[in-house]
Structure 1
Amino acid sequence: MSSVVGSAILPVITTIISIIRTTVFYLSFAVWTIFWSLLMILFIHPFPFKFRHPIFVKTWAIVAINLCRLICGVRWEVKGRENIPDKPCVVICNHQSTWETFFLQTLLTPQTQVIKQELLKIPFYGWAFSKIKPIAINRKDVRQSLHQIRDQGKAALAHGVWVLIFPEGTRIAPGEPGKFSRGAAGLAKAAGVGILPIAHNAGSYWPNKGWLKKSGTIQVEIGPVIETEQLTVAEANNAARNWITDNIRQIN
């Protein structure tokens, strides 16, 4: 009887602990984000653009993911770092949660990324984010967005800045990736650079639906650069999606 009662109580205790840890994390994260965003807004202007990301954004992201690690037990393991080229290129990653948007800021710098315009309206975070000139697109205007990604992305790459794109456009539950937009592949082809594919399973520990965090180790796989010179935009896009799809399956 006692073992039955214990097995029934254990999930309840686990859920309560998870609620407490997640609540503490979000409170800590909110305080850190507001504090650091104010510092960025006040002191970022004298810094040249290429130094803004490594000094301000990367620092903020390092603290954010480590808060989650220390409080919620969300760790990570990265394989394939040797595949990261010396010269910045277009980075394509599957999108499952908020975690990878933080982590990738710590992996590649200086960096800009394609985001939806609405993010810049978030108090403190959005105001600070605007200072590093992200490629903020209106997702309702697909044609204009593609032109914006190509033009602003080429300018960033020409100045030695990595360009991060989540081609699914929105968060997808763990499993196979969703439909890939060709904007990232089109940018890589137009700029004459390769594509660095990255796969992960962050959604298993930082779920998109629901706010509770689950302790465990996120697996991040960095693939070899996909050279686009001899490929069409469609072929480059398919090559990136196929690599990410295969590696998500292996991770799962």
Structure 2
Amino acid sequence: MNLLRSVLHLLFMAVTVVPWALAVVIVAPLFNSTQIYWMCARWLKLAVDSGTVILGIRNHVIGFENLPVGTTTPAVLLVKHQSLWETFCMPALMPHPLAYVFKKELLRVPFFGWAMARMDMIHIDRSDGARAFVKVVQQGQRLLDQGTWVIMFPEGTRIDRGQKGTYKSGGTRLAIRTGAPVIPVAVTSAKCWPRKAFIKKPGVVEISIGKPIPSAGRQPDELMQEVEDWIEAEMRRLDPEAYR
């Protein structure tokens, strides 16, 4: 049954993303970046809602009250990364537009990447080294000033359930350079959608939003250590079976 559900969900996303992406590409010149973002976020919400209906995956979110208020209040979200699920559901859940920091190769993915190219996000060439971070800061500052929150996965890649990757300080460096607070987010998506797994399982994904951590006067590594400590402790609280 889980195999059939997984196939149906994949087919549903494949069938819906093509017309949606083509529509975004065609109408992009007629709308501003925020409007284009919400057009794309609606498809992501459709993907999440279909995951609930077809796969039986439900979100349980705690800590919404920790999100900053105000239309232009900045924030850098640093999120635990276990599967594609949080990539889809964060824009579907958050009240502000989000800007992901991602490698530019994703823009070449048919339809999905073409639509992403029309969104105001931060795509980098990792081969540029230090210049890539300069671009992140420049674009990040502009986006944060206009009320778009920057979202990053500090471990850099999807991590198996119960495991911890190497937390890199790019997100805290950006927060310190721009003066934005960081918001740690723990996600237990691998309980239902394991890394690189085709077959998904029904269940509840816990998403815990931590309190904003001010970045003023902090050092990147020290601030990232605080973020890491909170996320990993929260992961053990939310999914104790994975850490026995």
Deviation, structure 1 residue 240: 1.0
CA shift digits 1:14-41 (9 cap, x unpaired): xxx1111111110011011112101111
Distance 2:80 2:110 in 1: 27
- Structure 2 portions without partners, runs of 5+: 240-244
Match of 2:203 in 1: 216
Is 1:96 the equivalent of 2:82? yes
Match of 1:29 among 6, 9, 13: 13
Deviation, structure 1 residue 44: 2.3
Distance 2:170 2:142 in 1: 15
- Structure 1 portions without partners, runs of 5+: 1-16
Match of 1:41 in 2: 25
Deviation, structure 1 residue 52: 1.9
Distance 1:176 1:249 in 2: 10
Structure 1 residue runs of 4 or more that deviate by more than 4 Å after TM superposition: none
Q: How many residues align?
A: 235
- Superposition RMSD in Å: 1.2
Match of 2:228 among 228, 232, 241: 241
Matched letter for residue 173 of structure 1: D
Q: Secondary structure at the match of 1:38?
A: helix
Maintained 8 Å contact 1:176/1:249 = no
Structure of greater Rg: 1
Match of 1:72 among 55, 64, 75: 55
Deviation, structure 1 residue 235: 1.6
Match of 1:63 in 2: 46
Deviation, structure 1 residue 233: 1.4
Distance 1:215 1:142 in 2: 41
Distance 2:193 2:144 in 1: 31
Deviation, structure 1 residue 166: 0.8
Maintained 8 Å contact 1:77/1:217 = yes
* TM-score of the aligned structures, taking structure 1 as reference length: 0.90
User: Kindly, what percent of the aligned residue pairs are identical?
Assistant: 32
Distance 2:215 2:53 in 1: 40
Match of 1:182 among 156, 169, 172: 169
Match of 2:97 in 1: 110
* TM-score of the aligned structures, taking structure 2 as reference length: 0.92
Deviation, structure 1 residue 134: 1.9
Match of 1:53 in 2: 37
Matched letter for residue 35 of structure 1: P
Distance 2:97 2:180 in 1: 16
CA shift digits 1:106-141 (9 cap, x unpaired): 122212110121211000110111101321122344
Distance 1:221 1:79 in 2: 5
Q: Could you tell which deviates more after superposition, 45-54 or 185-194?
A: 45-54
